């Protein structure tokens, strides 16, 4: 699947910040990134809410070289399309976790950067505590005892909107398949600049449900 959005973000001093695609890293990978940062004179690393590393203060001419040496890729993090998947530690690490959020998020990362009529935020939480706030994302997956529940059409920001439950009790294959159908249907039918929630409101819930669940 093509990833065409790019993420270098210009800083006040003319340098750039890049968001890395990598959401999980081993100590060896972190050491390598830190060594290349030192060699390039880059002093700051921060983390996004979707657990991505941001390398701040890089020379724009050397981004490609930096990525090659550090063994990393720039994430497709901005613009109209699927943003970096936000996920919590889930049952692999959190005592409250009911579902494997890391494995679920890794499956959904194939959609990151896909161009769409407007931005699309996707979040995965491992239990109803909802640390990644799936009910206010365009697509939110919430782990429950019997599988994932999918919320659609939520958003935060200027026009807050609570998503609606589309399907429940899903295993990872089923959840991935439904997310793909939602994205394809939205991509092919929504107007430019229309968020998923607005699109659903326009066409009506019943039609949306039939089109994505078949």
**Least Cβ distance, residue 134 to ligand SF4 (angstroms):** 9
Contact between 94 and ligand SF4 by CB under 6 A: the answer reads: yes
Candidates 62-70, 77-85, 115-123, 124-132; binding stretch for ligand SF4 (CB under 6 A):
124-132
- Identify the residue among 125, 135, 137, 176 touching ligand SF4 (CB under 6 A): 125
HEC states along the chain?
A: CCCCCCCCEECCCCCEEEEECCCCCCHHHHHHHHHHHHHCCCCEEEECCCCCEEEEEECHHHHHHHHHHHCCCECCCCCCEECCCEECCHHHCCCCCCCCHHHHHHHHHHHCCCECCCCECEEEECCCCCCCCHHHCCEEEEEECCEEEEEECCECCCCCECCEEEEEEECHHHHHHHHHHHHHHHHHHCCCCCCHHHHHHHHCHHHHHHHHHC
Contact between 130 and ligand SF4 by CB under 6 A: the answer reads: yes
Contact between 126 and ligand SF4 by CB under 6 A: the answer reads: yes
- Identify the residue among 97, 117, 147, 163 touching ligand SF4 (CB under 6 A): 97
Contact between 147 and ligand SF4 by CB under 6 A: the answer reads: no
Contact between 11 and ligand SF4 by CB under 6 A: the answer reads: no
CB 167 within 8 A of CB 150: yes
Contact between 100 and ligand SF4 by CB under 6 A: the answer reads: no
Contact between 76 and ligand SF4 by CB under 6 A: the answer reads: no
**Least Cβ distance, residue 141 to ligand SF4 (angstroms):** 11
> Quick one: 94 or 172, whose CB is closer to ligand SF4?
94
Contact between 127 and ligand SF4 by CB under 6 A: the answer reads: yes
Chain positions contacting ligand SF4, by CB under 6 A: 88-90, 94, 96-97, 125-127, 129-131
């Amino acid at each position: 699947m093509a990833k065409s959005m790019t993420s270098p973000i210009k800083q006040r001093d003319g340098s750039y910040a890049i968001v890395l695609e990598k959401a999980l890293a081993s100590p060896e990978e972190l050491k390598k990134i830190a060594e290349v940062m030192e060699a390039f004179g880059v002093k700051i690393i921060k983390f996004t809410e979707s657990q991505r590393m941001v390398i701040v203060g890089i020379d724009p001419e050397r981004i490609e070289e930096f990525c090659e040496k550090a063994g990393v890729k720039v994430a497709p993090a901005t613009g109209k399309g699927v943003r970096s998947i936000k996920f919590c530690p889930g049952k692999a690490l959190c005592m409250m976790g009911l579902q494997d959020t890391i494995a679920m998020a890794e499956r959904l990362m194939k959609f990151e950067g896909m161009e769409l009529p407007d931005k699309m935020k996707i979040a995965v939480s491992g239990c109803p505590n909802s640390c990644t706030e799936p009910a206010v994302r365009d697509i939110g997956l919430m782990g429950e005892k019997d599988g994932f529940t999918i919320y659609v059409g939520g958003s935060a920001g200027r026009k807050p909107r609570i998503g609606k439950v589309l399907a429940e009790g899903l295993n990872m294959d089923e959840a991935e398949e439904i997310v793909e159908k939602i994205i394809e249907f939205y991509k092919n039918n929504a107007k430019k600049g229309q968020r998923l929630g607005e699109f659903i409101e326009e066409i009506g819930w019943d039609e949306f449900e039939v089109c994505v669940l078949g």
